[in-house]
Structure 1
Amino acid sequence: MRKRALVSLLAAAAATTGTVALPAAAAAPAITAAAPTLDELRTELRAAQKAAFKAEDAYEAALAEFKKADAEAVTAEALAAEARQKADKLGESASSVAYEKAVQDAAVALKAAESAKGTADELEKAAKAAETKAKDAADAVVAGEREKAEAHEAIPAAEKAVTDAEAELKTANDELAKAKAALADAVTDEEKAKAQAAVEAAEGVATSAASAFERAGEALRTAERRFEEAAKKLPGLKGEAADAADAATAARGLATAAQGKADDAEKASDAAAELVAKLEGSADNAAYLAAKKEAAKLAAEATEARGKANKLKDEADKLKKAWDEAEARVKKAQSALDAALFPVKITGIEVYDGAVRYPARNTPLPITVYTAGEADKAVVKCGGIEINGEVTVSGVWEAGFYLEPGDPGQGRCSVKVTNTHGISATKDFSYDFRNAARFGSFNASPEPVRKGRTITVSGTVQATNANGTAYGHLNGARVTVYFKAKGTASWVNKGTATTKGGGAFALGVTARKDGTWKAVYAGTSAYSAANSSTDYVDVR
């Protein structure tokens, strides 16, 4: 857009027909808060002014307190600096330098002694732990040797038990053989019965003897296995005990050495402290220490004074903020009263859209603003460009722009009017120079249609000519086809088609459900949007 002389705009507007008025504002709710009266506005202004005066007085008082405290802090800081300089000067003497060095050395020695003691304590703790571990390892060796000896002692008894069981088994087997022989030699039934009983008795004894022999053998094998395991484990236990003993000896050596260093460090620290005490008692250092103490005292007082001043400053800043808020309230109350006494408002806006817009020519955009009250200035803003309106008659302002080729055919603008008292009113409006588009026809067929067959959605799109006097075919328009199934509320996009000769379009869609069809043209910067009628198709 670019600015254009008003006279030319008004001349162009005069050659056109009709105007488009800004749509009226939405109706106000049935119940609205009543506007304050002039007396109420004056009362609010007086209350705001009174509160502002009170806030100003409180701020000024707090500011005075801060300035006083700040001056006292500055004085205290100066005294502290002077005392520090005096102490520093006294500290330049040889004895004072020696004293300060002794103090520093004593601090270093004390820190070293504390560190050495800490190290010695840690190593003593580690040595005790190592000694405990060595003792436990030695005890394990003793227990292992005892277990080996006990196992070894159990073997002879087990061997004897095996021998005895074996002899008893041999005796039982011999008796069994004799019983069997007697049974073989028996002739009479009585002899056979007696011999059979003897055989059975001998077999029971032999079986018992065999079981005893087996148990004795197992006991011997267990004793031998226990001895072997104890003998196998004992060298490992002795090795671990030796390693633990060596580690305990080494740890004890480190702990003893560290304790010696700690004792030496403690002696050095005591000696350094004695030197500090000795130098501190000299006459030269007495004056230096007194000056240093005084300087520290004054520094603490200066810090306290500065803290007090900073606190008072924070309080003053808070009161300044409260004063600013009170002043803002005064300004708001004054503005409200001025608006009531000297009102200004925009009662209407007209955009003359009758001018013909050709693609390669500029199109004038004349605007008329109607105001109530004593408006002193009217500014129209469109697309980032501002232009001052000119009053033609009281309450009527004229302004305008040119739409150049390529500019959008529609847009939003705003108007701001202001009176001599600084009271203003603002209102937005829009313009639309696009050619009107519409659907000349629309149909979905066949009706009814069998499920799975093709439904053809077709129609034509039309648009007004450049001067808006007649509709013609709109070719190349992109149309979107929508479907809403029976019993649902949502429209589903089924595809797009582009108008060709005669503004006609057609789209084939497979029939699935009963429902309603429609087409939508979204519009462009040159043509407005349009919706077709709807068409219901029964699918069988």
Structure 2
Amino acid sequence: MTVLAGALVLSAFTAPTAQAAGTGITVTGIVVNGGKPVVVGTSDVKEPRITFRVHLPAGYSTADFSAWDAEPYLYHGTTAEKGALNGSLQASYTCYETAARISDCEGTLYIEPRYRLDSNNDATTWKIGVATKLWGANGQPKKEQYTTAPGGVQIRRWAKATVNASPEPVKKGGTLTVTGSLKRADWVKHTYTGVAAATVKLQFRKKGGSAYTTVKTAKSSASGALKTTVKASADGYWRWSFGGWSTTGAATSAVDFVDVR
């Protein structure tokens, strides 16, 4: 088995074959993070797993890594070539030879939000690019191609919720006020700011029970605040649950137990 290592830019969750006509190299089966969206906060580095397969043209061998290169990536630019040069998110990968002209590759992406995500507009569907090169004896590419594969991948802003129910304890049949907040990562300010106009579920689990049920929904305020009232009927646990958007990850608060007397 031949093992090859290299550098990789951020790729897509799942993409069909990307054919680089100028090189004859194909990249197939690209999978990132198990097919799930990549959700990124304000400071923690994210390292989602990536796998893909490289097929080389006749006359080239996976045993000679210095003769070829194949890198999938995501980009915002107008063309795949410009996208490869601007805003790429670096990672590392290793390729394992499975046949004379086929390698299976795996590795992890490296997403540092403080330096690689500098706009909240980065929370969107990114285009999928594939760069392939055939190297000459002088160390310069004799053939190279940048192509765009169908599909895309969502990068989302991390969200978090809080909850507080009062009064505690509460009389049975009395009014319980449940408050909280919904915030998400702001990649410009490097902090969490309120999510406005989000529909958030208020959920309840009776003491001794195993499942939560949605009691009602509420809209978050301009600052991300949550508030509603319910009638207290039994001891149990209250929480807020937000399903997420294409730009924002899902969030479920911790629970607040209320004793009903």
Q: If the length of structure 2 is used for normalisation, what is the TM-score?
A: 0.54
What is the rounded CA distance, in whole Å, between the counterparts of 2:231 and 2:124 in structure 1? 47
Distance 1:339-1:12 versus aligned 2 partners, 3 A rule? closer
Deviation, structure 1 residue 521? 1.0
Alignment counterpart, residue 216 of structure 2, candidates 488, 495, 517: 495
Match of 1:12 in 2: 86
The equivalent of 2:246 in structure 1 is 525
Tell me by how many angstroms 1:479 deviates: 0.9
Q: Does 1:451 align with 2:172?
A: yes
Residue matched to 1:433: 155
**Equivalent residues in 2 for 1:207-218 (5 A)?**
none
Q: Give the secondary-structure state (helix, strand or coil) at the position aligned to 1:434.
A: strand
CA apart distance, 1:536: 0.6
Q: Give 1 or 2: higher helix fraction.
A: 1
- Give CA deviations for 1:143-166 in whole Å, capped at 9, x if unaligned: xxxxxxxxxxxxxxxxxxxxxxxx
Letter in 2 for 1:432: Q
Identity %: 25
Distance change in 2, residues 1:344/1:400 (3 Å)? same
* 1:91-134 per-position Cα deviation (integer Å, ceiling 9, x unaligned): xxxxxxxxxxxxxxxxxxxxxxxxxxxxxxxxxxxxxxxxxxxx
Question: Bigger radius of gyration, 1 or 2?
Answer: 1
Are residues 517 and 532 of structure 1, via their aligned partners in 2, closer, same or farther at CA, if it must alter by over 3 Å? same
TM-align CA RMSD: 4.1
Instruction: Work out whether 1:348 is the aligned partner of 2:107.
Output: yes
Cα 1:401–1:523 shift into 2, 3 Å: farther
Aligned-partner SS, 1:490:
coil
Change (3 A) 1:518 1:494: same
Distance 2:81 2:191 in 1: 30
1:391 to 117, 133, 136: 133
Change (3 A) 1:11 1:389: closer
3-state secondary structure, aligned to 1:497 = strand
| SS in structure 1 at match of 2:223 | helix
CA 1:388–1:463 in structure 2 vs 1: closer, same or farther (change >3 Å)? Answer: closer
Q: 1:511 aligns with which of 232, 244, 251?
A: 232
Residue in 1 that maps onto 2:200: 479
Report how far residue 5 of structure 1 moved.
Answer: 3.4
Question: Contact (CA 8 Å) 2:124, 2:156: kept in 1 or not?
Answer: no
Matches of 1:399 and 1:351, distance apart in 2: 22
C-alpha displacement of 1:432? 3.4
**2:220/2:226 contact within 8 Å kept:** yes
Partner of 1:163: none
Superimposed CA distance per residue, residues 466-505 of structure 1 (whole angstroms, 9 cap, x where no aligned partner): 5472211222111101100011111111000111142111
Q: How does 1:98-497 map to 2 (within 5 A)?
A: 339-340=98-99, 342-348=101-107, 350=109, 354-357=116-119, 365=126, 388-391=130-133, 431-439=153-161, 441-467=162-188, 469-497=190-218
> Does the Cα contact within 8 Å between 2:203 and 2:213 map onto a contact in 1?
yes
- SS of the residue 1:493 aligns to: strand
**Counterpart secondary structure, 1:528:** coil
Does structure 2 conserve the Cα–Cα contact (< 8 Å) formed by 1:3 and 1:401?
Answer: no
The alpha-carbon deviation at position 433 of structure 1 amounts to: 2.1
**C-alpha distance in structure 1 between counterparts of 2:86 and 2:91, whole Å:** 15
Q: Cα deviations across residues 46-93 of structure 1 (Å, max 9, x unaligned)? A: xxxxxxxxxxxxxxxxxxxxxxxxxxxxxxxxxxxxxxxxxxxxxxxx
The separation in 2 between residues aligned to 1:478 and 1:362, in whole angstroms, is 19
Is 2:125–2:155's contact at 8 Å kept on the other side of the alignment? no
More strand by share: 2
Number of residue equivalences = 174
Q: Which runs of 5+ in 1 are unaligned?
A: 23-337, 367-381, 403-410, 414-430
Query: Could you tell me how far apart the structure 1 residues matched to 2:179 and 2:123 are?
Result: 37
Gapped regions of structure 2 (runs ≥ 5): 1-74
- Structure 2 Cα separation of the partners of residues 461 and 506 of structure 1: 11
Cα distance in 2 for residues equivalent to 1:347 and 1:495: 44
